[in-house]
Amino acid sequence: MALKDYIYSKPTIVTGRLIIRPLIASDVEALREWMPDKSIYEFWGKGPGKSEKNPELLFEKQAKPTKSFHLGIAEKTADKVIGDIWIYLIEQDRMAKTAVRLSKTVHGRGYGTESLSAMTRFCFEHTELKRLWTEVDVRNTASCRMLEKCGYKREGLIRQGRMVNTWCDYYIYGILDSDSEGKD
Ligand SMILES: CC(C)(COP(=O)(O)OP(=O)(O)OC[C@H]1O[C@@H](n2cnc3c(N)ncnc32)[C@H](O)[C@@H]1OP(=O)(O)O)[C@@H](O)C(=O)NCCC(=O)NCCS
């Protein structure tokens, strides 16, 4: 498979406790419970936008065909979406950026590590991507730790750089398909 094979049909990835799958309109009520919560945006680089405050907007227009992934993270037991994950800013089918966020109600249960690790493995095993990376506010300890547990390496520190819409000290984390891959 290659990135182009997922343009119209996004994958579903099943882990021990989670289902990582495309978001659907019936997820709106679940998304409304956590997406507008300002506290999860503390180190996100911007606060909740229009569609985060009103998740129904995510389903108003037909999604544009794209190689990027924006998938929901649901607990297997209830198939209720408690977070989401991205693979985006794809450059020449070789490098892409990752992002993950979870409802505060489920932080600290290992779901971040479990979902990012599975998504990372999926990218290296089922697409041509060779490098995944992200930027993380140095104060975002949970995210740094999660990335390290998934096998991402801290590659550098940017001092007072622009991270999304904020200016802060942030780390660059990256992982190559040739590095030892993430673990559940
Ligand atoms: C980042 C995020 C996805 C992590 O998800 P999570 O499921 O809570 O993380 P995990 O439970 O997998 O924990 C990963 C590690 O971080 C540690 N950790 C979790 N929360 C922490 C906190 N608030 N402070 C310090 N360490 C923390 C865990 O203890 C674990 O390390 P350990 O196994 O050595 O104990 C979650 O905190 C989140 O959604 N944050 C808001 C959005 C965000 O900032 N996303 C990242 C943008 S780069």
CB 119 within 8 A of CB 164: no
What domains appear along the chain, each with residue ranges and CATH number? 3-133 (3.40.630.30)
- SS3 annotation, the chain: CCHHHHCCCCCCEECCCEEEEECCHHHHHHHHHHCCCHHHHCCCCCCCCHHHHCHHHHHCCCCCCCCCEEEEEEECCCCEEEEEEEEEEEECCCEEEEEEEECHHHCCCCHHHHHHHHHHHHHHHHCCCCEEEEEEECCCHHHHHHHHHCCCEEEEEEEEEEECCEEEEEEEEEEECCCCCCCC
Phi, psi dihedral angles at 49 (to 5 degrees): -90, -170
> What residue owns the CA closest to ligand 1's atom 48?
136
- Residue 63's pLDDT is 84
Cα of 76 vs centre of ligand 1, distance in Å, is 20
Question: Are the C-beta atoms of 101 and 111 separated by less than 8 Å?
Answer: no
CB distance 108 to ligand 1 below 6 Å: yes
Q: Token pair 């020449």 is at which residue?
A: 92
- Token readout for 141 is 């300890």
The answer to whether residue 182 scores a pLDDT higher than 80 is no
Name the residue of 145, 158, 170, 172 to mutate for ligand 1: max ligand atoms within 8 A of Cβ. 145
For ligand 1, atom 16, which residue shows the shortest CA distance? 142
- The reply to whether ligand 1 has any atom less than 6 angstroms from the CB of 145 is yes
Percent of the chain surpassing pLDDT 70 = 97
Q: Hey, which of 31, 37, 42, 107 would you mutate to test ligand 1's pocket, going by the most ligand atoms within 8 Å of its Cβ? A: 107
Residue type, 153: K
pLDDT in tens, 78-124: 999 999 999 999 999 999 999 999 999 999 999 999 999 999 999 99
43 close to ligand 1 (CB < 6 Angstrom): yes
